[in-house]
Amino acid sequence: MVQRIIGIMGAMPEETNGIVALLQNPVATTRGRRTYTSGTINGITVVVVFSRWGKVAAATTVTHLILEFNITELIFTGVAGAILDDLNIGDIVIGNQFIQHDMDARPLMAKYEIPLLGVTHFESPEDCINAGFVAANSAIAEKKLHTEIPEADLAQFAITAPKVIIGVIASGDHFFSDTETKTKLLSELPDVVCVEMEGAAVAQVCYEYAIQYTIIRTISDNAESTSDIDFAAFIATIASKYAALIIQKLIL
């Protein structure tokens, strides 16, 4: 039987620090300017790493997890900007489909189509989607956020009753910070609920290596002109706690 080894990537170092703190018997290994920390959570072997930002950095990181650390599945946590109007700061998105919104090789192939693969998007396995949804909802239902995060920090970002949805995530090497760009994306990809800079690239690598993957995003901003305001504070006080809480629920 193949040993179960879970790779856990965080898009911000604050998130991975919180997850590393959960590890039993941690051992750190440095490769390619990244620190991979191995250990166990709930008796299951995991390897935790900060992916760095952007599609290339994230794809490099997950490839290394697969080839050197022999992971059998991947969990990727991070933040995202809301495209769907109904999403608020603090809400959680479990990705079911991933598209690279900056992939455009026309006229050689259709817009968004991945060269040589013949697909425009990647789909996370249904059991991974369901597991992520249950884990995130469990953390919220048990009021874990309100016991682990000070009420003052939650109030700073108007987080009172966060929700979890399943939806399409768009990725690209572009930080959304104006309404015009957001509106243009939504006109071309109306099913997208949020945007970030790594998920679809990670999904592509997992697809090519036949690795199960779950990608979870916490909404940090509205992908408009105020997106950079208090971003660092949100990561440190909110997103880092979300990641650790959900991972504890997901790895059983």
Residues catalogued as catalytic: 15, 221
List all residues 6 or more positions away from 159 whose beta carbon is below 8 Å from its beta carbon.
88, 89, 90, 145, 238
* Cα–Cα separations (whole angstroms), residue 11 to 95, 143, 197: 15, 25, 9
Angle at 227 between CA 51 and CA 203, to 5 degrees: 35
Nearest to 6 by CA among 63, 74, 68, 66: 74
Cα dihedral value 11, 14, 16, 20, nearest 10: 180
CB 220 within 8 A of CB 239: yes
Q: Measured between alpha carbons, how far is 83 from 185 in angstroms, rounded to an integer?
A: 9
Q: Measured between alpha carbons, how far is 225 from 179 in angstroms, rounded to an integer?
A: 7
> How buried is residue 63: exposed, middle or buried, by Cβ count under 10 Å (0-12/13-18/19+)?
middle
**Chain centre distance of CA 91:** 13
Q: Measured between alpha carbons, how far is 130 from 182 in angstroms, rounded to an integer?
A: 28
